[in-house]
Amino acid sequence: MDTSALTPSRVGRAAGLTAASGLAVLLLASCGASSDGGASAPANLAVPDQRADAARESAEGAVEVEEDAGTEAGSGTDVEVADRRLVHTADMTVRVDDVAEAAELAKRLTLDSDGYVESESLSTPRDGHPEGVLTLRVPEDGYEGVLEELAELGDRSMLDRSVQDVTEEVADVESRIESSETALETLRGYLEEARDVDDLLRVEGEIQRRQEDLEALQARLKVLDGQTSYSTVHLTLQPPTTYLEEPVRDSVGFLGGLERGWRALVGLGQGLAVLAGWLLPFVVVLAAVGAWPLWVWRGRRRARRDGAPEAVEANGGGSRDDEAPAREPEPVRPEEGGPGPKDDGDGR
């Protein structure tokens, strides 16, 4: 073995092991020599040397084992890096001519890659431009290929990708699950040994709490497995946009003014129509509410007007003429310059 490749710490540990082994062998040999006598001394003296050599070889073997262990540890680190648990997420926007057809193609691509469609939404806003939003879950090994095929549906306008490493979280959850399962087994053993009701209830309560924790950890591990096994793609499908540049005009002119005035008139008419439509429900409700008091008031007024003559007739009709004093007829006055009353025979 080439001892020059050994580090100082390892050489020191090997030397320490050799010295300790040699010291132990010497002590045993001295004890044997004192008990057997001087005749067996030469033979016993040869034994320490052989055992010291064996101890030295054992120490060197320990150094080799330590080096092999370090190599294996390094390879284990490489395996851990290769087995990382990653969560892939992508947000993509693609402009297509037919949103509905592109959505069907995207779903077909997902199903062909052994994935599934988590959600789908197709809508047509007020401006008349349809839009489709899909959430696709694809296996991790086919994630890159599906992204390329989705980009070929039309003109890809946006792509945002992210990766989250959850390796440590998965390892922590798995370790806690194992510990919870071991604790549950121990508690179940205590449950069989419980002698009174208090101990039984205490152990059962602890078992129930640990069982709930275990189920929560198992659910979390299931979610992490789903996130790492299937990548998520948020796909937005939109129609292509056309940008129209307005022609530059030096002056408005008569036709331009007429066009703008007509647009303003149309806009005013539309605004008035909107205002009328907005006010119409209020007008109807207010008219319905105010018509009833008006109708009642007019009815009462008409009743008072029609009831006044009837009241007069009920009180005696023409009693005023009967009660009025009779007027004496006025004497007829002779006209001026006319003949007077006839004179009787006496010249009166």
Give average pLDDT by consecutive 10-residue segment, the chain, 348 residues: 40 40 40 39 38 40 40 43 80 92 92 92 77 92 90 91 89 90 86 81 88 91 88 92 51 78 91 92 87 83 72 52 51 52 48
Taking Cα atoms as reference points, which of 65, 54, 68 lies closest to residue 21?
Answer: 54
**Vertex 323 angle, CA 318 and 328, to 5°:** 115
pLDDT the model gives residue 193: 79
pLDDT the model gives residue 47: 37
Q: Where are the beta strands (DSSP E) in 79-183?
A: 86-95, 116-123, 131-139, 155-165
pLDDT the model gives residue 123: 85
Taking Cα atoms as reference points, which of 209, 215, 175, 207 lies closest to residue 189?
Answer: 207
Per DSSP, helices labelled H in 113-252 are 143-151, 167-193, 197-229
Give the 3-state DSSP-derived string for 300-332, with helices as H, strands as E and coil as C. HHHHHHHHHHHHHHHCCCCHHHHHCCCCCCCCC
pLDDT the model gives residue 328: 54
**Vertex 64 angle, CA 58 and 70, to 5°:** 140
Spatial distance between the Cα atoms of 98 and 240, rounded to a whole number of angstroms: 9
Strand pairing class (131-139; 155-165): unpaired
pTM beyond 0.85: the answer is no
pLDDT the model gives residue 52: 38
Q: What are the residues whose beta carbons fall under 8 Å from the beta carbon of 205, sequence distance 6 or more?
A: none
